Amino acid sequence: MAMLQVENLQVFYGVIQAIKGISFEVNQGEIVALIGANGAGKTTILHTVTGLVPAKAGQIQFDGKDLLKTPSHKIVSMGMAHVPEGRRIFQELSVYENLQLGAFTRRDKAEIAESLKMVYTRFPRLEERKKQIAGTLSGGEQQMLAIGRALMSKPRIILMDEPSMGLSPLFVSEIFDIIQEINKAGTTVLIVEQNAKKVLSIANRAYVLETGKIIQSGEAQSLMNDDSVKRAYLGE
């Protein structure tokens, strides 16, 4: 059975149906991408998985446990971290405090210190700026902080919502390298992106989303060579 299994998910905002019966799965060790245009429902799916938005119907199972019946704040300790759209770091707290909050549910001080060291090794910039107020970081640094904060919970799966948004091309490449490294280190990744070209180049599999429905899915490689995907999402 897949690590994360979503079945026939339906989500409404008031009377508007944003997700119209979607099924997908993420297996342990994979990088899975959800791609789609503005408003396709990518963020809504991730928010429903981590309980920020309620579902109307369907199932979400993580390691066989029903996530739709799990309160949002209990999900991170099950091993799932979410780097939300727009980063949503705590602007008024320091870099260090943001990272501390990432480990909020963990108790073992020695293990937390180890995770912190790991995050600082991966993002030396965060260590240099650990006392700085997070709101004053640059966009790229804020994205690093958002990812670092998620890693502080020692997740088995990490959900990322457009990590490349608003970043300079140089930073975009760096962030994608880091995502690959995180995956190689053993963390499963579910990533949402508009930057389809980049994300398909690092993903194992992908799902193409259009107005709340999955219209295509498959190996990232073959989607990259698919004519309709090329036309719609790769600008070719």
Partner 1 sequence: MEFLAQLVNGLSLGSIYALIALGYTMVYGICKMLNFAHGDVIMVGAYTLSIAMSTLHFPPYLAIPVSMLVCAVLGVTIERIAYKPLRQASPLAVLITAIGVSYFLQSLALLIFGSTQRKVESAINVGLIHIGDFAISGNAVVTLLLTIVLMVGLTWFINHTMTGKAMLAVSEDKGAAQLMGVNVNKTIAVTFLSGSALAAVAGVLYIASYGYVGPYTGSMPGIKAFVAAVLGGIGSVPGAMLGGILLGIIESLSKAYISTQLADAIVFGVLIVVLLVKPTGLLGKKVTEKV
Ligand X SMILES: Nc1ncnc2c1ncn2[C@@H]1O[C@H](COP(=O)(O)OP(=O)(O)OP(=O)(O)O)[C@@H](O)[C@H]1O
Q: Give the nearer residue to ligand X in terms of CB position, either 94 or 194.
A: 194
Q: Which does 40 bind (CB under 5 to 8 A by kind): Mg ion, ligand X, partner 1, none?
A: ligand X
* Minimum CB–partner distance for residue 219 and partner 1 (Å): 30
Binding-residue total with partner 1 (CB under 8 A): 28
What gap in Å lies between CA 44 and CA 4, rounded to an integer? Answer: 16
Which residue lies nearer to ligand X by CB, 42 or 129? 42
A 10 A CB-CB count for 82 gives 25
Question: Which amino acid, residue 104?
Answer: F
Site for ligand X in 41-100 (CB under 6 A): 41-44, 85
Determine the interface stretch with partner 1 among 50-58, 125-133, 137-145, 196-204 (rule: CB under 8 A).
50-58
Distances 182 to 7, 114, 123 between C-alpha atoms, Å = 27, 16, 12
Among 2, 7, 27, 52, binds partner 1 (CB under 8 A): 52
β-pair partners for 191: 33, 160
Distances from the Cα of 122 to the Cα of 39, 49, 108, angstroms: 33, 27, 21
Binding residues among 174-203 for ligand X as defined by CB under 6 A: 194
Q: How far apart are CA 108 and CA 63, in angstroms?
A: 23
Minimum distance of ligand X from residue 17's CB (angstroms): 9
Query: Residue 194's binding partner, choosing from ligand X, Mg ion, partner 1, none, with beta-carbon cut-off 5 to 8 A by kind?
Result: ligand X
Which window, 35-43, 140-148, 168-176, 228-236, contacts ligand X (CB under 6 A)? 35-43
43 is a site residue for Mg ion (CB under 5 A): yes
Site for partner 1 in 64-123 (CB under 8 A): 71-77, 81-82, 84, 86, 88-93, 97, 100-102, 104-105
Angle between helices 95-102 and 139-151 (to 10 degrees): 30
Look at the alpha carbons of 92, 95, 99, 102 in this order and tell me if their dihedral is positive or negative. Answer: positive
Q: E-assigned strands of the chain? A: 4-13, 16-26, 31-36, 57-62, 65-66, 80-83, 157-161, 188-193, 205-210, 213-219
151 touches 101 (CB < 8 A): no
From the list 115, 142, 153, 188, which residue makes contact with partner 1 (rule: CB under 8 A)?
153
Q: Would you count residue 18 as binding ligand X (CB under 6 A)?
A: yes
Binding region for partner 1 (CB under 8 A) = 50-52, 71-77, 81-82, 84, 86, 88-93, 97, 100-102, 104-105, 149, 153
Binding region for Mg ion (CB under 5 A) = 42-43, 85
